[in-house]
Amino acid sequence: MVVSDRWAAVVALAEGSRRALYEYVRGAGHPVGRDEAGQATGISRGLAAFHLDKLVDAGLLQAGRRKSGGPGRSTKVYEPSAAGLTITIPERRYELIAEILADAVAAEPADAREAAVRLARERGRQIGARLPEEGGDLVAAIDALGFEPRRERDGALVLRNCPFRVLAVRQTELVCGLNHALLTGLLDGLGAGRLGIVAELAPGPGRCCVTLR
């Protein structure tokens, strides 16, 4: 889920009946129809259908069809979606660094650190290369990754948040190196190097260790 979808999911779950339906479907262990969902949560079939479809729109459930009754007849059923829901403020992206580290260990267990730096740069390059096709820009891409960029008077982009904060506190050198590699790769993929934009390691209190100049 992207950030906007996560907030939509939070709003969807804020309503009591909707949250009860979601919890029932998640715990049912089988596709749930509207009649069953309504009966289980004490609301009408029509209201259950409304809330279940809202949960589908929010990405929390997925809908399908199940045969019932005579030939060709089917009913709409609901199951939990594969997408998880995590909300952190400020933004944290631990799944991203976990993927990089896991792939590095699998690829080169004898030198996982070097492999992780290489993979972080490649991941950033892939993100940067897609930006022109998706109509995005550098600042929007960095913000989407959770870095909270802010442009200073001298034109530098200071990153006010580290998406890997807890890991950075425990393994500062490693995580700062991966941050630098990821953002350097993003600049490479975008072609920002031609514009003279570089990622510099410039640690400071209360912000990411990388600054873009």
pLDDT score recorded for residue 89:
58
Domain boundaries, given as residue ranges, for the chain: 3-80, 94-212
Q: Which of 104-118, 131-145, 194-208 is predicted with the least confidence, judged by mean pLDDT?
A: 131-145
pLDDT score recorded for residue 1:
45
Query: Is residue 53 classed exposed, middle or buried when 0-12, 13-18 and 19+ CB atoms within 10 A define those classes?
Result: middle
CATH topology for 94-212? Muramoyl-pentapeptide Carboxypeptidase; domain 2 (3.30.1380)
C-alpha pair distances (Å), 31 with each of 63, 72, 81, 85: 9, 19, 11, 20
pLDDT digits (tens, 9 = 90+) for 9-49: 777 777 888 889 999 998 888 999 999 999 999 999 999 99
Question: Class of the 3-80 domain?
Answer: mainly alpha
Cα 71 versus chain centre, distance:
42
pLDDT score recorded for residue 204:
79
Let me know how many helices (H) and strands (E) the chain has, helices first.
9, 7
Average pLDDT, the chain: 84
Q: Which of 32-41, 145-154, 166-175, 187-196 is predicted with the least confidence, judged by mean pLDDT?
A: 187-196
Q: Tell me the mean pLDDT in the region 184-209.
A: 84
pLDDT score recorded for residue 4:
45
pLDDT above 50 for 3: no
Q: Which of 93-102, 122-131, 132-141 is predicted with the least confidence, judged by mean pLDDT?
A: 132-141
Q: What is the pTM of this model?
A: 0.64
pLDDT digits (tens, 9 = 90+) for 68-117: 665 667 789 999 887 666 655 556 777 888 899 999 999 888 899 999 99
